[in-house]
């Protein structure tokens, strides 16, 4: 016969297992994409070298399917860009994680994002930093992204419709700047708004389907460039398209 303390332990283990299964079921019912998001983080991000736990947790927390059109939700956690309307796309998850990873963000950082799009990247940044200021040149996208981020509870993100070429000088200097659209040059105005020791990451290049993801660091007023990998982004428009620097 089993001792009474053994029986009590078995009952406790069974009860605890039931609680875990119930909680897991409730989470999956509330978020049917949880398993897909976990797989995305493990296979498409962590396995490819992104080992910053804060970045991984942010990618796991932000629900990408809420940032894409309903018709694309079944593909929300595939490692690929998806259309979001107005001729724009949401970047593939790995690139979002990679760009975020290389900025080495801290909880006290103030970040400027150029190219809000759907607001997905801004949400990831908001999980990691104190303040995020995001510029989107397409009015419809800016308005929709602002509403979406507010509805999701992001109170540390501000979205404005404007030309990213000029940045957002009212809140400068920034600890980090992320440019999510391709540019043939590093805009001088963005460099001016980057604080000392600040980092900027951007797709640099003038070819439509080929840019170099580049990390820029500002030291004593000068910039240092570090090419990271080849990428493909939609081009920055506005004043940059007129050949200004």
CATH architecture of the domain with residue range 92-242: 3-Layer(aba) Sandwich (3.40)
Active site residue 28: no
Beta bridge partners of 224: 217
* Residue 35, token pair as written in the block: 């398993």
Choosing from 24, 28, 91, 118, the catalytic residue is: 91
Whole-structure pTM value: 0.85
Instruction: Name the 3-class secondary structure at 128.
Output: helix
Report CA torsion sign: 23, 26, 30, 34: positive
* Contact by Cβ (8 Å): 156, 126: yes
Residue 14: predicted pLDDT: 42
For residue 179, how many other CB atoms are within 10 A of its CB?
25
List all residues 6 or more positions away from 191 whose beta carbon is below 8 Å from its beta carbon: 200, 216, 218, 223
The Cβ-side half-sphere exposure at 223, using a 13 Å CA radius, reads 20
Residue-range domain boundaries for the chain = 92-242
Per-residue pLDDT of the chain (245 residues; tens, 9 = 90+): 445 555 444 444 344 333 334 444 444 458 899 999 999 999 999 999 999 999 999 999 999 999 999 999 999 999 999 999 998 999 999 999 999 999 999 999 999 999 999 999 999 999 999 999 999 999 999 999 999 999 999 999 999 999 999 999 999 999 999 999 999 999 999 999 999 999 999 999 987 778 999 999 999 989 999 999 999 998 888 866 555 55
Give the residue carrying structure tokens 């990618």: 59
CA distances to 115, 136, 160, 235, 239 from 164, rounded to whole Å, are 7, 7, 10, 12, 9
């Amino acid at each position: 016969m089993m001792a009474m303390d053994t029986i009590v332990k078995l009952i406790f283990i069974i009860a605890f297992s039931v609680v875990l299964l119930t909680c897991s079921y409730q989470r999956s019912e509330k978020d049917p994409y949880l398993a897909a998001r976990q797989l995305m983080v493990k296979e498409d991000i962590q396995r490819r070298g992104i080992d910053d736990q804060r970045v991984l947790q942010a990618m796991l927390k932000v629900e990408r399917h809420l940032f894409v059109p309903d018709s694309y939700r079944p593909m929300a956690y595939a490692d690929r860009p998806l259309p979001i309307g107005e001729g724009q796309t949401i970047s593939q998850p790995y690139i979002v994680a990679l760009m975020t990873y290389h900025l080495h963000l801290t909880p006290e950082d103030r970040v400027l994002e150029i190219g809000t799009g759907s607001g997905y990247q801004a949400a990831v940044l908001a999980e990691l930093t104190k303040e995020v200021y995001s510029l989107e040149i397409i009015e419809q996208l800016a308005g929709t992204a602002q509403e979406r981020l507010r509805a999701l509870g992001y109170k540390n993100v501000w979205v404005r419709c404007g030309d990213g070429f000029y940045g957002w000088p009212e809140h400068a200097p920034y600890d980090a700047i992320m440019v999510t659209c391709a540019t043939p040059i590093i805009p001088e105005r963005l460099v001016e708004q980057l604080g000392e020791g600040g980092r900027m990451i951007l797709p640099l290049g003038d070819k439509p389907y080929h840019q170099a993801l580049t990390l820029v660091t500002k030291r004593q007023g000068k910039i240092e460039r570090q090419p990271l990998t080849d990428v493909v982004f939609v081009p920055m428009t506005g004043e940059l398209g007129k050949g200004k620097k």
